[in-house]
Every structure is written in structure tokens, then in C-alpha cells.
Structure 1
Amino acid sequence: MPLDWLVGVNRRPCTFYDDRPTGEEVSLLVIHNISLPAGEFGTPYVDGLFCGTLDYNAHASFVDLQGVEVSAHCFIKRDGQVLQYVPFSKRAWHAGVSTFAGRTRCNDFSIGIELEGTDDCAYEQVQYLQLVELTKQLMTAYPAITKQRIVGHCDIAPGRKTDPGSAFQWSKFFHQLDK
């Protein structure tokens, strides 16, 4: 049975999503990282970006984000808190120009999960635990998401994106997913 909203997580107001194309099956999970400002954790700015309330004057690096409409289905903070912005049945705007298995427009058939982090900073164990739990729920609700269809943003937008980066331990994640 498809899953729209997680139970027990903070739902955040977001308008940066739309309907998936008619008949489109969710079949890909894309893992990202984000921090605002870059390399700073625990700020309210990622939430502001996804909710469309970011104060662009709060940091010099935010000027380039003016007018950007971006979202993810979920954001996993460094303390393990999960925020959900978009129902899983809807198309979040997370992948951008992207290709997987010969198909373009990965937003059409994917779910995007953001981890609070950077490419080269180790992720927290609690983030892995939350990501594994969330992934298991998604694989149950959307059986077309298999281990072979869990990728990084870097895999669907090579040369343009590098996340979740070298700090993300894929073997650790998949080992925990198998438990």
C-alpha cells in the first residue's frame, strides 16, 4: 500500500511539489546532502529553503538561492530528527536535470531524502539509523525501490552534483539495511 506521510515526524509546509505524471510508479530513492550555510549544521535555513521562507539576507551565500524552488520528501537532521515536506505520492523538486537507467526527469519516479551534511564530513550514526528505517518503510510501500535503485544525487546528475559525497558510507548503509 502506498505511503504518503510518515507517522511521528514533523510535517513542514511546502509548496514546491506537484503531481507525478499519471500512472508513474515510484521506483527510485535518491540520497542527497545539504547544509546552509555550507558546512554549518543545526541552522533553520534548510527548513526555510524548502518551506519558501528563507531570509536571503541572513547570509551572503543565500543571494544565489533567491527564486530557487526546491524541496525534498524528507530531511534527516544530524540529531536524527526527520522532517517531511512532501507526500511520497507527489513529485518533490530535488533531482533537477537527471538521468537513471536511460530515463530522464528522475523527479517523476523518485523519492528524495536529504541528509544534513556535506560531501566530506562524516554523517552521524543516528542519521544512518533513521535513513535505514525510512528506506525500509519506503521499500515496503513502493516495492519497485530495490537496493539497486537506491542512489546518490551524484549518480543521477554526474558532473553537476557530488552528494551525498565521499563521507557517505554506502557499505555501512546497505549492511544496516540488510539487518
Structure 2
Amino acid sequence: MKVNWLPGAHQRHSPHYNERPPGCAASLLVVHCISLPAGQYGGTYIDDLFMGTLDCQAHPSFDSLQGVRVSAHCLIRRNGVVIQYVPFDKRAWHAGVSEFAGQDNCNDFSIGVELEGTDTTAYTEAQYQALAELTLWLQQQFPQLTRERIVGHSDIAPSRKHDPGVAFDWDKYFALLR
């Protein structure tokens, strides 16, 4: 029996999700990064964005987020704390226009994990550890999530996205999955 909420994660129930298409299970893991404002960590802005409560007047860079409805399954803070926003059997809105292995609409068949950070700032040891633990747990729940089906946002939307970026150490992360 699949468990759709990560044990031990802080649970927040984002309104920004819907059902996966019939017969479509999670078979792709997409790693992202986010910080609001860019390069600033902590605070409530990421949570507010995923919960649909972001005050777009709070910072000039938030103007473009007016009316945006976005979520991820999980966010991993700089200190390694995992917050889950959407159950894994549901369709989070994290990938946007995307394609993997000839299949469009990656939100339909993926799990999205955001790392608090930027694509040019080193991620923390706690984040790598939490991401590896989450990945191993997800692979038990969804065996289709093989190493070949773990990608960055930049891999599924290369013309518009760069995350998790050059600062993300894929070799280090994959070594933790052994």
C-alpha cells in the first residue's frame, strides 16, 4: 500500500493541485530550486506562494507572481526540514510546459521537489541528506523512480529553466542513493 504523505514531514495542504490523469502514476522525480526574494532564505514567502497567499506587494520582484498558482510536492529548507504540500498521488503544479522522453506535461507523471536555494549558490549538506532520504523513500513507494528518471527542471524545460543549476552536485546526490 502506497503512503502519499512523507512520514515526519511538515504537512501543508496547498490548494494548487489536481488529480493525475487516469492510470498515470508518478514515474519521474524533478529537482527544482526556489528562493523568494531571489537569494534570500528563510521567511514565509515560499510557503505563501505554494499556499496561494503570497502578498505580491511585499517585494518588487513579486510583481510577476500576481495570480500565479504553483506548488511542489515537497520543499527542502536550507536546514534540511522537509515540508510537503501535495500528496504524492496527486498532480502538483511545478513543471509547467515540459517534456521528458517524448512525453509532454511532466506534471502528470512526476513528483516535484524544491530545494530552497538558487541555481548558483551551493546547497547545504542537510539538503543533500534530506533529498537523498526522501528519494530513497519515494523509490520504495514508486519503483519506477529509477536513477534514469531523476532529473532537474532544466532537463524537462531547457529553453526556460536552469534549476537546480550549476551549484547542484549531481554526483554527490547520486552517491547518497547507493
Aligning the two structures, in what range does the TM-score lie when normalised by the shorter sequence? Answer: over 0.9
Q: TM-score, normalised by structure 1?
A: 0.98
**1:43 Cα deviation after fit:** 1.9
Secondary structure of 1:132 counterpart: helix
CA shift, 1:159, in A, is 1.4
Q: What does residue 41 of structure 1 align with?
A: 41
CA RMSD, aligned part only?
Answer: 0.6
SS at match of 2:154: helix
Contact conserved, 1:32 with 1:164, CA < 8 A, in 2? yes
User: 5+ unaligned residues in a row in structure 1: which ranges?
Assistant: none
CA-to-aligned-CA distance 1:87-141 (integer Å, 9 cap, x gap): 0000000000000000000000000000000001000000000000000010110
Aligned pairs for 1:134-173 within 5 A: 134-173=134-173
Give the match for residue 104 of structure 1. Answer: 104
| SS of corresponding position for 1:31 | strand
Structure 1 segments of 4+ aligned residues over 2 angstroms from their partners: none
Distance in 2 of aligned mates of 1:95 and 1:26: 13
> What is the Cα deviation at residue 3 of structure 1?
2.5
Aligned twin of 2:80: 80
Cα separation, 1, equivalents of 2:45 and 2:26: 28
- What stretches of structure 2 of length at least 5 have no aligned partner? none
* SS of 1:174 mapped into structure 2: helix
Using the alignment, how far apart are the partners of 2:49 and 2:22 within structure 1? 28
Structure 1 residue 23 displacement after superposition: 0.5
| Partners of 1:3 and 1:138 within 8 A in 2 | no
Deviations 1:46-104 (A, max 9, x none): 00000011111110111110100000000000011110000000000000000000000
Deviation at 1:25, TM superposition (A): 2.0
Distance in 1 separating the partners of 2:12 and 2:140:
24
**Counterpart AA for 1:168:** F
CA distance in 1, matches of 2:104, 2:65: 24
C-alpha separation in 2, matches of 1:92 and 1:35: 18
1:62 aligned partner: 62
